[in-house]
Amino acid sequence: MQRKKLLLVDDEPAIQTLVRLVMEADEWQVLVASEGMRGLDMARKQHPDVILLDVVLPDISGLEVCRQLKADPATSDVPVAMLTAMAQETDRRAAMALGADDYLTKPWRPAALRARVASLMEKQASRPGGE
């Protein structure tokens, strides 16, 4: 069975390492982009099953990355979860309005991350044309 692919777009090395450890233990292949434009490119080329996306990135906002992912027919159906330190309700609403499927604030617990990713996969599988 082929491993599921998760694309993490986050510029913090500690977050990259932690997400890798947590998700690879659950048999996920974790791809990492440290910049928003690189994340967009990787999403289009690698076709991940889930994208975890930080809001604050060095080149463009994660919100803009989310908007572009959801506007592109090649990536619009990929579940996107914002994984960010931006904890205000207005931040969450803005992300959801741009198409984010979930919003998880830092710091997060490994079990919470696993559960949220599993939930996104279940929702994806239940959509028409899903698995």
d(CA 14, CA 29): 18
Domain presence at residue 74: yes
Across the chain, how many H-helices and E-strands are there? Answer: 5, 5
Q: At residue 129, does pLDDT exceed 70?
A: no
Q: At residue 131, does pLDDT exceed 60?
A: no
Altogether, the residues listed in the chain come to a count of 131
Question: What pLDDT shows up at residue 43?
Answer: 98
Domain presence at residue 13: yes
User: Residue 97: which CATH number?
Assistant: 3.40.50.2300
Domain presence at residue 129: no
Give the structural domain span for 46.
5-124
Domain presence at residue 9: yes
Cα separation values, 105 from 29, 37, 102, 125, 131, Å: 22, 22, 10, 25, 28
Domain count for the chain: 1
Domain presence at residue 131: no
> What pTM, to 2 d.p., does this model score?
0.93
* pLDDT (tens digit per residue) in 46-98: 999 999 999 999 999 999 999 999 999 999 999 999 999 988 999 999 999 99
Domain presence at residue 34: yes
